Chains A and B, each alone.
Chain A
Amino acid sequence: MPTVLRMPEVAANATDAVLADWLVAENAEFSATDAIATVETEKAVVDVEAEDAGIVIKTLVAPGSQVEVGAPIAVLGAVGETVDDLDAVLAALGVAVATAPVLPERRDVPEQATPVVEEVAAAPTRRLFASPLARKIAKDAGLPIDDLPGTGPRGRILRRDVERALAARTEPVPAPVAETRAVLAPTHDAPASEIPHTRLRRAIASRLTESKQTAPHFYVRATVRADALVALRAEVNDGDVKVSVNDLVVKAVAAAHRAVPEMNVVWTPDAVRTFDTVDVAVAVATDRGLVTPVLRDVTSLPVSEVAARVRDLAARARDGRLKQDELEGGTISVTNLGMYGVEEFAAIINPPHAAILAVGAVRDEPVVEDGAVVPGKRMTVTLSVDHRPVDGVVAARWLAALTDLWEPRVRFVGCGRGLLHRPTDEAPGASAT
């Protein structure tokens, strides 16, 4: 019996994805674990793998189509299976017509008082058909057109649909775009150019807006001695291994998470989820925008390996070649603007993480040591924390654990160069407590 292949949720909480390409043609067979299709999300391209051997009977969406997660994308069969009446099979599988999944429903039905709230919420990501003129009038009037009934061909929203909606608009509406522009008017005559949003830029905007709006942020900050850290880095880099201050911070963050496991959590609607291993995301600036690949089980990695993996992830991030699973998971991110001379800053948490550590520049400063002022190196780190799963005192304990790890001597990587290269579980958390 044929089965339906549905659009997988390749990115957490994604409502849709683009079917980038079919790797197995219609009527072609495949083996288990063969990639059948590639799916593109905002940040990555993912192969959809076959669970068992079989045959692609019919693809239901064309390459390049944006498809809702869970929508049928193909009909698969057992090896050698053929179908005489595809329409009947599709009907039996509950798939309407071949092109249905990418088309919107007709919107000329009067709005119903139905309780299907979730579906309505998903609607804005569907392709919406509206004439250019209708879109322009609606945009100028600040009218969202997502829920307008369209009366044109194939449910297209036309000028008259927008005008009807505008006429019926009685409730207070969000400030129209035009008003916002009026506020900004003095800059309007200035020479300017516009770069249309890329998918990545939109993703950054929506994720960070969501974070700032839903995760109540609080901040804890510490300025710490960095002499030992810098010295260690210099010692390490004397050899053929190249390690940055940031790599050491990533390693220290993991150690701190071991020391304060209440920080190794994420907020979910029903529970606070605590993890066993420590996965740390690293912010990487690329030409296209910010991405945050995740390093797995950092406590198990020697610093040299952390450095190597960060380098690899950063390089592939810049080339846009990260896989989706490399962008998922983790409980905390590390972001560092120290190389630009930024002394301190506060970052927005990268959801669904519980925290982000913003690292400033290492600077030479007079420090008091044994009652005397001596030259020293200091840096400021700022931890942004989601107050839903983590309270202030936990964050404070975590920050203290972190600074203890490299002040006055670095304790999270052992002391010798040999340890740098050996993949061992150093369990630095134990020594930190």
Chain B
Amino acid sequence: MPEHHPLEPASPWVEVVATEADWDAADPHLLRTIYAQLVWIRTFEQYVLELAAGGLIHGPAHSSIGQEGGAVGSVLALTSDDSVNGSHRGHHQFLAKALHHVEPKGLDPLEAPSEQVREVLLKTLAEICGLDRGWSHGRGGSMHLQWKEAGAMGTNAIVGGGVPQAAGFAWSHRHSGGDAVSVTYFGDGAVNIGSTLETMNLAGAWSLPVCFFIENNRYAVSTSVDEATAEPRLSARGLGFNIASWKVDGMDPLAVHLAMTEAVEHMRRGRGPTVVEVDTYRFFHQNGGFAGSAFGYRDKDEERAWRERDPLTQTAAHLQRRGIMTADETAAAVAAAKAVMEEIGRELVEPLPGGKPGQRQIRPGEWPDPDWVDVGVRGDLSEFDAARVVDPTGFAVPVQETKFIDAVAAVMGRRMETDPGIVVMGEDVHRLNGGTNGATRGLPDRFPGRILGTPISENAFAGLAGGIALDGRCTPVVEFMYADFMWVAADQLFNQIGKARHMYGGESGVPLVLRSKVAMGTGYGSQHSMDPAGVFATNPGWRIVAPSTPYDYVGLMNAALTCQDPVVVLEHVDLYGSSGPGPIDDLDYVLPVGKAAIRRPGNDVTVLTYLGMVPFVLEAVEEFGQVDAEVIDLRWLDRASIDWELIEQSITRTNQVLIAEQGAVGTSYGGWLADEIHRRFFDLLDAPVRRVTGAEASPSISKVLERAAIAQKDEVIAELAEIARY
């Protein structure tokens, strides 16, 4: 018979309940501010639903009516230095944070709103309507509300998608030396998704000052929390990651404030992350102005019971009970707020000409300019104005034969030396004498706390880096041991990091460098051998560099670290062990964005290639000998940075194009490029664009099958022979 020793979670897990004595003890000014915030948020959202019912909101209007107590109670425990982000249901948190930012000393429910408060309400309403005056010029709308100045870092339409970024804000706060904290709001739906749980683990491991604030409103759309998990006491999630956890009644704003004050104190003292779960309820369905009972997943009795505990009426009752406000005054506050919202609304909407009474339309002048559709997908590169950008042709600094991998570690060390904000993270980058390939050799000792070995959770640490980039004070460098792992982190890379600048208005940068290793040919098989260039090139926001020599690596990495856009630096494992020209002692030059290099001049065909395929193409041209190919090493692969000028000059002479790459045909890079060349340069072409790619299959473990799946010299020669036939 074995012995059984009871085990306990290492962190405390408590429920905080506010007593009447707590309400009696609360500062009247705090209670007036709580009430004022509740009234503004409630009135604002009711106005949004009114517009939605009139067809003036394009897309969903996810109201948080009923849930204001959690947002207001928690935000009032923060300062403007603290960050918050949230989910698709985030009007209340955003407004609470923004109002608290413009009125840090508190709001009074009986005072007319200041100009700043009006501006917050107007810009938020405009954003939700998709109008130019919104925070993000209407690009983000209801689900992407961001005002970084106020510490509102952006709400998010991917469930759990914003959680890893909040850990990044927390990392930046701690790295910058203050005691600011980060709060990420999400619901009972997001508590079960990987990015949330991965981030809890990462935040616990790194003891980051981030609060996982769970608004348990009991329903993920129509799926109840009891159906979705066997542990519906959601704050219990924190215990699995050794995170101190609180549970509190979200309909009681004071109780939330008391619990949040404890949690914030815990984080400011450097004790690591926190979980705060509030029990709350959205009075309406997922979106729009109908009750959930109308859709059959809950009943009216349940809704009535929750409505009786409405945070507004509870707060008003306490204010009246304590004689802080009369019933007339609490009612007057609501009426005044409604009048203000009507006024603000009239700036954006007008009676529909020729319509029925009450029919309204958006004022035509308020829409964003459609020509603006692509503006700000990436930045304007003005950050390079002050950089030491060198001539892209030849060598701008003295070079000598250099081992590729040494250049990788050398330039990163040099940049970390000059920029204390650079932080490198990835699996095993802090061990094994520079990670699995030596790319960070010598750096952990030189830069303690800035070469971070991560748990195996690409989505969490890529997203954490995304948060650091959004914050903007530091520059994260993420290493993916294998490019294929991008699929694990796909939400963060493509939905979050790649879209963030544009989606939030196009003005603020996302300076992040992803070092993605391309390991085809190493025998690691179907799930470790892809070339990600095609996937990055066909998703918005990213810039892509593909260095094929040590000299290029240094110049392109410096460009990537200068750039305010996310840049993926492709590193081919074949090249790591190779040698080529590299700088002797100058590691500070920057290769210009958008400049390719002619590796071999020629007149018969323009071969466009990159990364590990460059040496194979050069060998093939020499060996075959019958075609005078011009070989262009693209260096920059994304749609915005590709060197059209050089490509056009070359095609004007050769009238023929071959795009050569190694990877599988399906996700290959050259498809979009061939399309673009045909459309741009049709009249220069004497033949259709030819392509060399790998097979359809992912490369296999078996050496011969792997070789058959990857394009190398022989495949290029075969295509050159076709060209020679005509």
Contact = CB atoms under 8 A, between A and B. Distances in A.
B655 A133 contact: yes
Q: Which 7 A-B pairs have the closest CB atoms?
A: A133-B686, A131-B686, A136-B683, A159-B686, A132-B682, A132-B683, A152-B726
Interface in B666-724: 682-687
A310 B476 CA distance: 77
Contacts of B726: 151-153, 158
A158 B683 contact: no
B192 to A, nearest CB: 51
Contacts of A134: 686
A136 B685 CA distance: 10
Contact of B684 (A133, A151, A152, A153): A133
Main secondary structure of the interface of B (DSSP, over half): loop
A159 B683 CA distance: 11
Interface string B333-375: 0000000000000000000000000000000000000000000
Interface of A: 131-136, 151-153, 158-159
Nearest to A151: B726
B503 to A, nearest CB: 36
Contacts of B655: 131, 133, 159
B691 to A, nearest CB: 15
B725 to A, nearest CB: 8
A344 to B, nearest CB: 47
Contacts of A135: 683
Contacts of A133: 655, 683-686
Nearest to B687: A131
23 contacts: A131-B686, A131-B687, A132-B682, A132-B683, A132-B684, A132-B685, A132-B686, A133-B655, A133-B683, A133-B684, A133-B685, A133-B686, A134-B686, A151-B726, A152-B686, A152-B687, A152-B726, A153-B687, A153-B726, A158-B686, A158-B687, A158-B726, A159-B655
A158 B685 CA distance: 9
Nearest to A132: B682
A133 B686 CA distance: 5
A158 B683 CA distance: 12
Interface string B251-282: 00000000000000000000000000000000
A152 B686 CA distance: 9
A136 B655 CA distance: 12
A35 to B, nearest CB: 38
| Interface hub of B684, B687, B726 (most chain A Cβ within 10 A) | B687
B594 to A, nearest CB: 26
Contacts of B683: 132-133, 135-136
A135 B687 CA distance: 12
A322 to B, nearest CB: 36
Given A131-B686, A158-B686, 7 more contacts: A131-B655, A132-B682, A132-B686, A133-B685, A152-B687, A153-B726, A159-B686
A155 B435 CA distance: 56
A152 B656 CA distance: 13
Nearest to A139: B683
A376 B726 CA distance: 77
A128 to B, nearest CB: 15
A143 to B, nearest CB: 16
B329 to A, nearest CB: 67
A158 B682 CA distance: 13
Nearest to A136: B683
B288 to A, nearest CB: 43
A136 B686 CA distance: 10
A135 B685 CA distance: 10
Contacts of B684: 132-133
A98 to B, nearest CB: 23
B438 to A, nearest CB: 48
A133 B657 CA distance: 13
Contacts of B687: 131, 152-153, 158
A272 B222 CA distance: 84
A245 B509 CA distance: 73
Contacts of A152: 686-687, 726
A221 to B, nearest CB: 50
A153 B725 CA distance: 9
Contacts of B685: 131-133
Interface in B419-446: none
Interface in B634-683: 655, 682-683
Contacts of A131: 655, 685-687
A258 to B, nearest CB: 58
A134 B726 CA distance: 14
B619 to A, nearest CB: 26
B687 to A, nearest CB: 6
Nearest to B678: A132
A135 B684 CA distance: 10
Contacts of A153: 687, 726
Contacts of B686: 131-134, 152, 158-159
A327 B686 CA distance: 42
| Residue from A132, A152, A159 having most chain B Cβ neighbours under 10 A | A132
B622 to A, nearest CB: 25
B501 to A, nearest CB: 36
User: Which of B682, B685, B686, B687 has the most chain A CB atoms inside 10 A of its CB?
Assistant: B686
A133 B682 CA distance: 7
A132 B687 CA distance: 8
Nearest to A162: B686
Contacts of B682: 132
Nearest to B722: A153
A136 B682 CA distance: 10
Contacts of A136: 683
A316 to B, nearest CB: 36
Contacts of A132: 682-686
A132 to B, nearest CB: 5
B627 to A, nearest CB: 15
A50 B682 CA distance: 43
B77 to A, nearest CB: 63
A159 B685 CA distance: 9
Contacts of A158: 686-687, 726
A152 B725 CA distance: 9
A304 to B, nearest CB: 43
